[in-house]
Amino acid sequence: MCGIVGYIGKKDVRNLLLEGLKRLEYRGYDSSGLVVFSPTGFNVIKRIGRVAKLVEATSKNSAKGTLGISHTRWATHGGVTESNTHPHVSSDGKIAMVHNGVIENYVEMKKFLEIKGFSFSSETDSEALSNLIAYHYAKEKEDGEDTSRFFTAVRKALSHVEGTYGIAVTCVDYPDELIGARKGSPLILGVGKGEYILASDESAIITHTSNVVYLDDNEMVSMSRDGFRVVSAADEGIDPVINTIDWNIEDSEKGKFEHYMLKEIFEQPAALENAMRGRFSDDGSTAIFGGLNLTPRELRQIDRLLFTSCGTAWHSCLVAEYLIERYARIPVEVEYASELRYRNAPLDKNTLVFVVTQSGETIDTLGALREAQRRGYRTLAITNGVGSTIAREADGGIYQHAGPEVGVASTKAFTSQLLIVAMLALYLGRLRDMSYTDGAEMVKALRSVPNLVRETLKQDQHIKAIAAKYAGYADFLFLGRQAMFPIALEGALKLKEISYIHAEGYPAAEMKHGPIALICEECPSVFIATGGEIFQKVLSNIQEVKARKGKVILIHSKSCEVPDGLVDDTIIIPDAADSVMPILATVPLQLLSYYIAVERGCDVDKPRNLAKSVTVE
Ligand code: G6P
């Protein structure tokens, strides 16, 4: 949510910032702006709309420099206007700053600063911080302080902030210093040779260096062309750990695909293989996870699991509930992280908390994790965000290794989470009652998934044709039972997110208790039924829809027998074990929503109002 790029070095900063912003655009795309620090001072350019608008505006500007900061905005405080666009320059012209997060006490800050003679030209909370830094900077000057005046001013201003921030700041009197700081919003430092890049995530850094320092909350970094130093809020020096990014730039390019979303849908077989690599026992009867930091004995003492997350990842948690309860016989509870963090939920002392998050940065998930830790619970994270805040703060966890996911609508990260929770069900099951033979069978089923997904993807053109038929409808129902219920929720969410069609996911049998009132010729239903003992019951639910003239698309597995003429359209997925069916059933739903959105002319990779990583509450 909001993307930041800052640079100090020897290269032309303008192109570098723009290139970084393009890569971070999925974090927010309401407006964007940059400051180039040229020999004449700050050159500020801002534009409403996509980064492409800023690129165009910047090409007409001749300012050159090797230090600068930039921002792509997802609006929180104040509408989408040029004056609300970052960077915000303090009213005395001394400080330029970009900010990701929310300054909660900005109203009182603003009142104080107005009395002190500062003025405001935006409705943002961020401008208050840039003026507050300028206030402290001026004060330091009066107090006769020295070369660290800029740094001290930032530190002092931040000590008054309530809320969250990731910031990049420059001062007009310091052409050789760039400052960054974070609390609650991600900020990463790319360490190059004589150059440093500050960014909200690795994708803006990877083309320049793969050496990064993940800043922790309450840390500040000061960079010059000769080096950098990281300090704590108490101004104590910190020994930075330099990590290596484990993916390369091609992984985050669109390649031959028209959209990232389609590319990422087709990357699923590889992402699933990566999630399993090296994670089965030699005897092929169970899963192995190196990072749980819990012994089998400790895990045996756990008698309840709590899964929490947001958005698509929350649907993975619901699937975890079905799979873990079924295969491992451990009760699982699922909570929205945004609710859990403020709810005083009574948890048993033998509860283990799992957070599931693609990015590892979602603020509500982070809040729930911290709340669980504050109460003394052991927390584990399932995340794709290597080095992310949640990965670092959890007591242990499982990396997805799905590779960078750029499309705002999550696809490969979701199915990789589904695979990991199935592996977890196997692992926990084998610690308890699951036999060697059942374990070996499940391992075989899990290993077959990448190929089964490949087979499912062959339906691409068939699904495209179905999408063309249904793209004009305004309402959809997605219906499934048992583990297909969360998949129905995910199908509805995908369609809503990228095509702006109203869609609801429901347990198929529950439809009778309300949503059935919506059924008519104008409201198609997508049923997901993959066999098993409830298949006949789902067929009855379909009959109920057909009796009311509702159109039906049925996603079913190959061996299911569907009466002739019952449904309008079918998408057939391969037969497979129940443990992997949620993955296979998801793929056609992703393609269906993708092609419907394309048919409607929607911007699939950057849907209206959404952001990939939500780092504000
Ligand atoms: C945002 C994204 C969703 C995502 C959710 C949780 O809302 O648009 O696609 O599922 O955040 O993100 P996380 O990174 O925690 O999985």
Q: Enumerate residues 6+ apart whose C-beta is below 8 A from 314.
A: 334, 336, 337, 356
**Residue 349 pLDDT exceeds 90:** no
If you average pLDDT over every residue of the chain, what do you get? Answer: 94
C-alpha 131 – ligand 1 centre gap (Å): 32
Alpha-helical regions (H) of 179-277: 260-266, 268-276
Per-domain boundaries in the chain: 3-245, 252-447, 459-603
Which residue minimizes the CA distance to atom 1 of ligand 1? 612
How far apart, in Å, are the Cα atoms of 226 and each of 149, 189, 430? 19, 15, 54
- State what percent of residues in the chain have pLDDT above 70: 99
For residue 311 and ligand 1, the question of a CB distance below 6 A is answered with yes
Whether 612 lines ligand 1, by a CB cut-off of 6 Å, is: yes
Active site includes 494? no
**Residue in the block written with tokens 């959105």:** 597
Q: What is the three-state SS of 53-107?
A: HHHHHHHCCCCCCCEEEEEEECCCCCCCCCCCCCCEECCCCCEEEEEECCECCHH
Q: Please, is 112 exposed, middle or buried when counting C-beta atoms within 10 Å of its C-beta (0-12, 13-18, 19+)? A: middle
CATH number of 252-447: 3.40.50.10490
**Local confidence band at 245 (pLDDT 50, 70, 90 cut-offs):** confident
Tokens read off for 294: 């819990």
Name, of 26-30, 240-244, 349-353, 425-429, the range with top average pLDDT: 425-429
Q: Report cis status (omega within 30 of 0) of the bond before 563.
A: no
Residue 274, φ and ψ in degrees, nearest 5 = -65, -35
Provide the edge-to-edge strand list for the sheet that holds 378-383: 332-336, 304-309, 351-357, 378-383, 396-399
Chain-centroid distance, C-alpha 144: 45
Residue 359 Cβ inside 6 Å of ligand 1? The answer reads yes
What does the pLDDT read at residue 152? 94
Ligand 1 pocket test: which of 1, 185, 201, 312 has the largest number of ligand atoms within 8 Å of its C-beta? Answer: 312
pLDDT of residue 608: 86
Residue 145 has pLDDT above 70, yes or no: no
At the top level of CATH, the class of 459-603 is alpha beta
| Maximum distance among all Cα pairs of the chain, rounded to whole angstroms | 87
Q: In the prediction, which pLDDT does 534 show?
A: 86
pLDDT at 521 over 70: yes
Q: Is the pLDDT of residue 259 over 70?
A: yes
- Interval between CA 491 and ligand 1 midpoint (Å): 15
Would you state the pLDDT for residue 421?
98
Measured in angstroms, how far is the CA atom of residue 379 from the centroid of ligand 1? 19
Query: Residue 42: phi, psi to the nearest 5?
Result: -75, 130
Which atom belonging to ligand 1 lies closest to the Cα atom of 310?
6
H or E stretch covering 42: strand 41-48
- Least confident range from 135-144, 239-248, 343-352, 525-534: namely 135-144
Distance CA(207)–CA(164), nearest Å, equals 28
How much distance in Å is there from the Cα of 609 to the middle of ligand 1? Answer: 13
Spatial separation of the C-alpha atoms in residues 520 and 303, rounded to whole Å = 46
Q: In angstroms, what is the span from residue 368 Cα to ligand 1's centroid? A: 15
Nearest ligand 1 atom to the CA of 311 is: 10
Q: Is the pLDDT of residue 143 over 80?
A: no
CA neighbor of 27 nearest in space, from 60, 63, 75:
75
How close is the Cα of 362 to the center of ligand 1, in Å?
A: 7
The whole-number pLDDT of residue 589 equals 98
CA distance 572 to 554: 8
Question: Which structure tokens are listed for 59?
Answer: 């090409």
Is residue 417 lining ligand 1, measured as CB closer than 6 Å?
Answer: no
Pocket of ligand 1, candidates 410, 420, 617: which has the most ligand atoms within 8 Å of its Cβ, to mutate?
A: 410
End-to-end CA distance of the chain: 11
Closest by CA position to 178, among listed 257, 251, 96 = 96
Told to judge if 612 belongs to the known catalytic residues of this protein, a careful annotator would answer yes
Q: Which residue has the tokens 């419907």?
A: 596
CB 295 within 8 A of CB 309: no
451: nearest Cα among 584, 288, 593: 584
Please identify which of the residues 110, 496, 551, 612 carries the catalytic annotation: 612
* Mean pLDDT across 571-579: 96
Residue 31 three-state SS: strand
Q: Is the pLDDT of residue 146 over 70?
A: no
Place of tokens 């230090």: 67
The amino acid at 19: E
User: Within 10 Å of residue 532's Cβ, how many Cβ atoms?
Assistant: 17
CA distances from 158 to 166, 240, 380 (A): 11, 21, 31
Q: Which of 8, 286, 287 is nearest to 168 (CA)?
A: 8
Q: Which atom of ligand 1 is nearest to the CA of 413?
A: 16
**Res 611 pLDDT > 90:** no
Q: Is the CB of 357 under 6 A from ligand 1?
A: yes
State residue 248's pLDDT score.
76
Whole-angstrom Cα distance, residue 422 to residue 268?
16
Check pocket membership of 206 for ligand 1, CB cut-off 6 A. Answer: no
Ligand 1 centre and the CA of 528: distance in Å? 23
Residue 592 pLDDT exceeds 90:
yes
Q: How many residues does the chain have?
A: 617
The pLDDT assigned to 166 comes to: 95
**Ligand 1 pocket, 389 CB below 6 A?**
no
Spatial CA neighbour of 28 closest among 171, 185, 152? 185
Separation between Cα atoms, residue 444 and residue 556, nearest integer Å: 22
Residue 251 has pLDDT above 80, yes or no: no
CATH code assigned to 3-245? 3.60.20.10
362 within ligand 1 shell (Cβ under 6 A): yes
- Tell me the C-alpha distance between 179 and 160, whole Å: 17
Helix axes 449-457, 581-599, angle to 10 degrees: 30
**Exposure of 411 in the CB half-sphere (CA atoms within 13 A):** 31
* pLDDT of 350 over the 80 cut: yes
CB-ligand 1 contact for 610 (6 Å cutoff): yes
Q: Which helix (H) or strand (E) holds 156?
A: helix 149-158
Output the pTM of the full model.
0.84
Q: What is the pLDDT of residues 102-118, one digit of tens each?
A: 999 999 999 999 999 99
C-alpha closest to that of 480 among 403, 413, 565, 557 = 557
Per-residue pLDDT tens for 467-482?
A: 999 999 999 999 999 9
Q: Residues 63-91: pLDDT tens digits?
A: 899 999 999 998 888 899 999 999 999 99
Amino acid, res. 4: I
Query: What is the per-residue pLDDT across 22-61, written as a single tens digit (0 to 9) for each?
Result: 999 888 889 999 999 998 999 999 999 999 999 999 988 8
Count of CA atoms in the C-beta half-sphere (13 A) of 258? 8
Nearest alpha carbon to residue 332 among 199, 448, 421, 401: 421
**Hey, do 3-245 and 252-447 end up sharing a CATH topology, with the first three levels equal?**
no
Q: What angle do CA 337, 342, 343 make, to 5 degrees?
A: 90
